[in-house]
Amino acid sequence: MATSDLVVIGAGPGGYVAAIRAAQLGLDTVLVEKREALGGTCLNIGCIPSKALLESSSLFRRLHTDVDLHGIRVSGVTLDLATMMARKDGLVAELTRGVALLMKKNKVSVLHGTGRLDGPGRVVVALASRGETVLEPRAVLLATGSAPVELPFMPFDGERVVTSTEALSFAEVPKSLAVIGAGAVGLEMASVWSRLGAAVTVIELLPQVAPFADADMAKELGRALKKQGIRFHLGARVTGATLDDAGVTLAVEDRRGRPLEVAVEKILVAVGRRPFSDGLGLETVDLAPDPQGRLLVDKEFRTAAAGVYAIGDLVEGPMLAHKAEEEGVAMAEILAGRPGQVHSAVIPSVIYTSPELAQVGLTEAEAAQEGREVRVGRFPFRANSRARAMGETAGLVKVVADAETDRILGVHAVGPHVSELIGEAVLGMESGATAEDIARTIHAHPTLSEALKEAALDVAGRAIHS
């Protein structure tokens, strides 16, 4: 039986970052992970491999569609999917090894196995090698992440009906692919396989792509993806599926209630994820998830069970790796007696399509629902000189500001590399910046970031280049 200050169950972005920060603060920390490789879903079968494929597939597509405009003549370009997948797998392996080295550097003890609560103050780890070990830590952090949601009438089979995990490792480009769900995962995977040659159809229950996004941004992104050849059925409901040797035929009800059929080789179900607390032994400390599967925590990430904390996808808020990381840091600092908090109002979100979508804060509609009077500034990338030089002019930046105080309430963007621009908006909102503050900040010329400056100027009707 071993004692420690903190046992972290789950080595995803939230868990391993919490373990590092706790160790930095002098806490004796043990990290428990059931996978052989650290990094959780994000690093192994989520954020990182998907971005690798997005980069590779984007390069492949540009060689076929864009380079002629730059005076570059290319012929005989073919796809070597095996090599593309090997690059993706190599990147994942390199980064997971990096996380393991960080554990050694910070003197975090790592146990490979499945951890579970076993009453107050006890954690049992079924070791991957063999046997069990019992830990008696001062605190336990649950950071076990989430799992894909399955449609009841169409269970995953790993071949024809797949999760994003299988969609990241297809051995061949499917001739046709239906994606159910137009959120980040669905649109990113739709982009990858469409670029590589699949006929892709996206089916979304709600009336817009990226249902969480500002309506203007969703419309702009949807328009761009349609131009790339992705077909959409929005406001449509999948009511059934028939599987046979040829693939899957979906029964769909369109937005007007009319029936239609979508026959494809493979189906990617990307309708969301559920908190993963299976087998954690919650009942041994009188904990139970809420109806959405989440654990209730206070502002310091404490559950109702003494000494048990939870972060990331297990608790309320967006299921995002960077949100889990910040919660992990805050929890470790609180446990070490320091102040720690996460400002949930300024957590950015991104869809890494082309163009990208990035946002932080309130949408224009959300601000109106809260009864706020706002002023809005917009600036299109077609008027941005750097975007024009790049040949990537789709999209715009939108700034939502309080009409009375000029405080920035939200920033929303669709365009090239806007995932890299949104950080400025987050910093501004964290610092209580006004639209005027951004408007008077000197931005290098020519840069994409000037679009944010111009949108901030436009809040007061002072945009220079539009």
- Residue 246: which domain range? 161-271
What six digits make up the tokens of 414? 């669709």
- 166 and 297 in a common domain: no
pTM (2 decimals)?
0.95
Q: What is the per-residue pLDDT for 350? A: 98
What contacts 256, CB < 8 A, 6 or more positions away? none
- 265 and 286 in a common domain: no
- 126 and 73 in a common domain: yes
- 311 and 194 in a common domain: no
Q: What is the per-residue pLDDT for 2? A: 65
Residue 153 lies in a domain: no
Residue 379 lies in a domain: yes
Q: What is the per-residue pLDDT for 3? A: 77
- 126 and 32 in a common domain: yes
Q: Which pLDDT band holds residue 377 (cuts at 50, 70, 90)?
A: very high
- Reported as a single tens digit per residue, the pLDDT across 103-121 is 999 999 999 999 999 999 9
CA dihedral 288, 292, 298, 303 (to 10 degrees): 20
Q: Domain ends where: 247, 271, 295?
A: 271
The residues that are catalytic are 445
Residue 154 lies in a domain: no
What is d(CA 33, CA 9) in angstroms, rounded to the nearest whole number? 6
Residue 135 lies in a domain: yes
- Say which amino acid occupies 422: I
- 29 and 142 in a common domain: yes
- Reported as a single tens digit per residue, the pLDDT across 4-20 is 999 999 999 999 999 99
Residue 152 lies in a domain: no
Which of 314, 327, 286 lies closest to 120, judged by CA? 286
- 320 and 215 in a common domain: no
- Reported as a single tens digit per residue, the pLDDT across 208-243 is 999 999 999 999 999 999 999 999 999 999 999 999
- Reported as a single tens digit per residue, the pLDDT across 119-154 is 999 999 999 988 999 999 999 999 999 999 999 999
**Cα of 145 vs its chain's centroid, Å:** 12
- Reported as a single tens digit per residue, the pLDDT across 314-371 is 999 999 999 999 999 999 999 999 999 999 999 999 999 999 999 999 999 999 999 9
Q: Domain ends where: 298, 318, 344?
A: 344
- Reported as a single tens digit per residue, the pLDDT across 419-442 is 999 999 999 999 999 999 999 999
- Is 44 exposed, middle or buried (CB count within 10 Å of its CB: 0-12, 13-18, 19+)? buried
What is d(CA 68, CA 17) in angstroms, rounded to the nearest whole number? 44
Q: 391 pLDDT exceeds 80?
A: yes
CATH number assigned to the domain comprising residue 425: 3.30.390.30
When divided into structural domains, the chain yields a total of: 3
What contacts 81, CB < 8 A, 6 or more positions away? 170, 171, 172, 173, 196
What is d(CA 7, CA 136) in angstroms, rounded to the nearest whole number? 9
Q: Which pLDDT band holds residue 385 (cuts at 50, 70, 90)?
A: very high
- 256 and 178 in a common domain: yes
What six digits make up the tokens of 97? 């090894």
CATH number assigned to the domain comprising residue 68: 3.50.50.60
Percent of the chain with pLDDT over 90: 96
Residue 148 contacts residue 171 (beta carbons within 8 Å): no
- 303 and 241 in a common domain: no
What contacts 198, CB < 8 A, 6 or more positions away? 173, 174, 175, 176, 177
Residue 349 lies in a domain: no
Q: What is the per-residue pLDDT for 130? A: 86
Beta bridge partners of 232: 202
Residue 138 contacts residue 130 (beta carbons within 8 Å): no
Residue 111 contacts residue 27 (beta carbons within 8 Å): no
Q: Domain ends where: 294, 316, 344?
A: 344
- 137 and 186 in a common domain: no
Q: List own/partner pairs for 74-83 with CB under 8 A and 24 or more apart.
A: 79/173, 79/196, 79/197, 81/170, 81/171, 81/172, 81/173, 81/196, 82/171
Q: 1 pLDDT exceeds 60?
A: no
- 248 and 202 in a common domain: yes
Residues 154-168 have a mean pLDDT of 96
Of the listed ranges 241-245, 276-280, 305-309, the one predicted with least confidence:
241-245
- Reported as a single tens digit per residue, the pLDDT across 165-182 is 999 999 999 999 999 999
Task: State how far the alpha carbon of 210 is from the alpha carbons of 320, 321, 353, in Å.
Answer: 15, 18, 11
Dihedrals phi, psi of 201, to nearest 5 degrees? -120, 125
- 166 and 135 in a common domain: no
Residues 265-270 have a mean pLDDT of 97
Residue 182 lies in a domain: yes
